[in-house]
Amino acid sequence: MTLVKHIIDNELTAGTSGNRAPIFNPATGEQSGEVLLGGASEIDMAVASAKKAFVTWSATPPAKRARVMFRLRDILERRADDVARAISLEHGKTHDDALGEVTRALEVVEYACGIPEKLKGEFSRDVGPGIDTCSERQALGVVAGITPFNFPAMVPLWMIPMAIATGNTFILKPSERDPSSANLVHELFKEAGLPAGVLNVVHGGKDAVDALLDHKDVQAISFVGSTPIAEYVYNRGCAAGKRVQALGGAKNHMIIMPDADIDQAADALMGAGFGSAGERCMAISVAVPIGEETANKLIEKLAPQVQAMAIGPHDDPDAVMGPVITAEAKARIEGLISQGEKEGAKVIVDGRGHKLQGYEGGFWVGGTLLDHVTPEMTVYKEEIFGPVLSVLRAKSYDEALDLINSHQYGNGTAIFTRDGDAAREFAAKVQVGMVGINVPIPVPVAYHSFGGWKRSIFGAHGIYGPEAVNFYTKLKTVTSRWPTGIREGAEFTFPSLG
């Protein structure tokens, strides 16, 4: 079995806590390794390494920092299969799905390659008599990322490139459920020439999280995970005087208008609802067809596709969906399906008790389709984070829009229609951060920024893109005047253009 250690100052270390947690292969249910769990002492070691490295790294010209990103880009492209394999073995997602994760991570690395242009600042001459003003963005110092299990390589690579390209040093606390990808990401950075201490990896649970949130030398925290933990991270981090961005959960709706191409909408829902076993914060988990006729047509198209969906281990080339991450996740998802049925939802396709020959011990949940879901049901109010698609029938577009706007989450949404006016109005009025028009998973490209609204995010900044530059830097403005040899005397008024 593998033993996953921390990486501090470019060296593998066991740390001092002595605590461990099992790592499982979700397809078989068997333990495949262990991960060492750090706490305050390991965080102290990582912060000390990062703080020391910050002195020289922050003074490194942005163009030289960008060269590390260019080399990382080439290495990541060359080793994409290795990273995807590491993801699949511990997360369970199919190889193609894992490769897609690597591709989206690569886009952020490419954006970070252009960091010199994004840090160049502004200059204004003669803002007053003989006075010039310039502004620049400076790195914060030691920053940290706390990342989730569902994208064990992509989310760290949404954070790290932008954080270190802007001159910070970084501590990564990845999910302990699938930790090997994080260590592999570090290996790629090291191969790209990243100096020791600029990136450190500390594995752990709540003890490690709290140590990061409380440490006086950690200047900022980036978090992606569930809403209750996001709120906890935000509140505790802010109370400690840190800059915090905390991305939480979601309940993403897709409206299907009567004029929509039903075949296209059904295909979109299959990928958006069941890709990565529904373990995505941008998964479409609620379909909202407008009118009974539209709903009936949609169910007619969806049901056989969900029933026939190929489910299997990551190395099955025919599989489009793998297992869920843990036995606990499987039990929770199946419990929510049962609760939905008890509360009146109609189970059209039932994924409970799914078994796969030769993988009977795996954490399998089959694709599940629920119809006649209502806003009062638990399956609607809670984020299931599994392969469950709920159909909530709406009588009108206005009813569907109100449904989305009244939900506590506002991460992503979509509308499928041929009506440009309806689509334009939806994009303007829906209270959600990321909107798709005939696009089921509207994850922005790397040169835009990712972020939801309402209880899907805590903090003022989205992740990656231009928002990341602002989050990982602080603005400094310098106003200067050089002596002209004429003494003008003391000035007691506020400087102005006069």
Residues annotated as catalytic (active site), given as ranges? 281
Tokens 């795996």 -> residue: 362
- Sequence-distant (6+) residues with CB within 8 A of 361 are 28, 29, 30
Helix (H, G, I), strand (E, B) or coil at 219: strand
State the number of CA atoms in the 13 A half-sphere of 485 facing the CB.
Answer: 0
Please tell me the distance from the alpha carbon of residue 99 to that of residue 94, in angstroms, as a whole number: 9
Residue in 391, 166, 424, 202 with CA at minimum distance from that of residue 297: 391
- Token duo for residue 274: 């069941």
Instruction: Report long-range pairs for 423-429 (Cβ below 8 Å, ≥24 apart).
Output: 426/255, 426/401, 429/401, 429/405
Please tell me the distance from the alpha carbon of residue 36 to that of residue 14, in angstroms, as a whole number: 7
> Rounded to the nearest 10 degrees, how much is the dihedral formed by the CA atoms of 313, 316, 322, 326?
10
Q: Are the CB atoms for 6 and 38 separated by under 8 Å?
A: yes
Tally DSSP H helices, then E strands, for the chain. Answer: 16, 23
